Structure 1
Amino acid sequence: MKISSPLLGTTFELPERPGRIVSLVSSATETLFALGAGDAGVGVTPYCARYVPGLGAPVVADYVSGDPEAIRAVRPELVVATDGVQLPLARRLAAAGLPVALLPVPQSRFGILENTVALGALTGRLAEARALCDRLERACAELVASAPSPRPRAYAELWFGRHLRRPGGRAFVHDLLWLAGLEPVHGDRPDAYAPPELDEVPGLAPAWVIVFSEPEHPIDAEALVRERGWDRAFAPRVLASTTERGRNLIHDGPSFVETAAWLRDATAA
């Protein structure tokens, strides 16, 4: 199969069922295992093991940095990356002659399903991918059908290291909140991730403040709310999201439905 990437300016031949895959995307790594292609993994990033218990593939790169020769050393037939902040790394690897295929960063849960089908096509497992999408769609439909009315309003805050962002209407995080039975207060914004205007949040009066942070830069969500005076201004309930599988607000692998279910249970308490 011939794989072409306009963003990378490359074309390469891919075996019908590649047996040596490097996944630089934790969601793709989780999906590969869900499709039965996990044994083909010969290289991952440090973050992939969070979503695949007992992952044995060696770490060959970080999410945004990596040595092409270290990846070439594991002789991949396919390298999976994304077209988001990972794009500069993907371009360096492709320029070095490595067989890189790009997945788009999903803007909704439907983008997650699209990427699942794409990985199924790349690995010769389309039937398995379609079946996985059916299971994910059923789980989403059950969550939507059982959503409370009215939905509690929620403000989500994402700390990518020291960089603060909030999800808008073009982020799959919006869908996670929606599936959890919440109404994202920035769901009408036509962007994906933007720096929040913190002064406007009290006026939006969310019932919940949900904060994601990484272990390398942990954020105390309760303390953050107190420091901003939000506990006095509108007294939201506070929930912390982590990098743990099923509790990670920014992870777009198949376990996103587990995260939505966790959010539903946590905010219904």
Structure 2
Amino acid sequence: MPLYHDQLNREVNLPALPKRIISVVPSQTELLFYLGLDKGVVGITKFCIHPADKFKSTTKIGGTKQLDIDKIKSLKPDLIIANKEENERGQLEELMQYFPVWISDIYDLPGALDMITRVGELVGRKTKAATLTDTITQNFSQLKPAPSPLRVAYFIWRKPYMVAGPNTFIDKMLQKCGWVNAFDLQRYPEIDADMLRDAMPDIILLSSEPYPFKEKHLAELSALVPSATVKLVDGEMFSWYGSRLLQAPAYFNALMAELI
């Protein structure tokens, strides 16, 4: 029986190549379809919006943190691919009683590349996964960090305000751009207007997800820190750690050029 380890170093037994896969993480769902698992993916979350045609045609099994356990059971998967941060531990532990569950745990680019490699092995797409990781690595070698280490506040939520702090994948992407996180509070802290002003960011980035910041929010943040440049950004480029990483370096280069 093939024995695999996930990124939590848990043993995951797969008696055969999985033919019925459920993915409960949007970026990993996109990766599976990129690897050619068109018929193998039988269930995804309501947030797994890419690719659009697959989103429309694939069975939805709830949200990333509110999985429909009964529907998942009815689909009889032989593999569930999840993530430590994006999914609820209790729900994953319940699913482990019935199905093999492989869990990723990603905080930086090497971790993302490792996930892609391991998932490729799990689903019988080792060669294509290797080509993907090589291309992502090459694309990131073309990334040109900002000439000066500007302080950046990266917003992920409103009411209350929440930002991405250190020890997150987003923070590592900011570092790849040559920027310094304006906050040294771990993970995703809540902040208020005074904390934002005290952090003295040069740039405030408003992410498109999980909170859908829009143009109307630019003035709100500009009023709090008039000296900062405030810009909307594509959150998928900063936080999706699957095949979306192919596009991230070019996006970062273009963004930095705009902010110079």
Alpha-carbon deviations, 1:227-264, whole Å to 9, x = none? 42x11xxx211111345xxx543322221352443233
1:194 corresponds to which of 161, 186, 189: 189
Amino acid at match of 2:155: E
Partners of 1:193 and 1:256 lie apart in 2 by 22
**Residue number in structure 1 paired with 2:221:** 225
1:215-254 matches, within 5 Å, as 218=213, 220-228=216-224, 230-231=225-226, 235-242=227-234, 247-254=236-243
Q: How many Å separate the matches in 2 of 1:131 and 1:19?
A: 22
| Partner of residue 179, structure 1 | 176
Which region of structure 1 is more displaced relative to structure 2, 167-176 or 39-48? 167-176
1:261 is matched with which residue: 228, 238, 250? 250
Structure 2 residues without counterparts, runs of 5 or longer: none
User: 1:157 is matched with which residue?
Assistant: 155
Say if 2:200 is the partner of 1:205.
yes
After superposition, residues 51-90 of structure 1 pair within 5 angstroms as: 51-55=50-54, 56-86=57-87, 87-90=89-92
Question: Structure 1: how far apart are the matches of 2:7 and 2:71?
Answer: 25
Q: Percent identity?
A: 21
Q: State the TM-score, normalized to the length of structure 1.
A: 0.81
Asked if residue 34 in structure 1 is aligned to residue 34 in structure 2, the reply is: yes
Return 5+ residue gaps in structure 1 as ranges.
Answer: none
Give the aligned length.
253
Question: What is the CA–CA distance in structure 1 between the aligned matches of 2:241 and 2:5, rounded to whole Å?
Answer: 24
How far 1:140 moved relative to its partner? 1.0
In 1, distance between residues paired with 2:12 and 2:181? Answer: 42
Given that 1:15 and 1:77 are in contact with CA atoms closer than 8 Å, whether structure 2 keeps it comes out as no
Q: How much does 1:180 deviate?
A: 3.4
Matches of 1:182 and 1:254, distance apart in 2: 23
Amino acid in structure 1 at the alignment position of 2:38: G
What's the offset of the Cα at 1:7? Answer: 7.5
Partner of residue 113, structure 1: 113
Seen in structure 2, the aligned counterparts of structure 1 residues 107 and 13 have a Cα distance that, compared at 3 Å, is: closer
Distance 1:254 1:214, change over 3 A: same
Select between 212-221 and 64-73 the one with higher mean Cα deviation: 212-221
**Conserved? CA contact 1:8–1:94, under 8 Å:** no
Q: In 1, distance between residues paired with 2:168 and 2:8?
A: 21
RMSD between aligned alpha carbons?
A: 2.9
Contact 2:82 2:101 in 1 (8 A): yes
1:258 maps to a residue whose letter is Q
1:239 alignment partner AA? K
Q: Distance in 2 between matches of 1:60 and 1:110?
A: 30
Q: Which runs of 4+ in 1 moved over 6 A?
A: 4-9
Distance 1:8 1:130, change over 3 A: closer
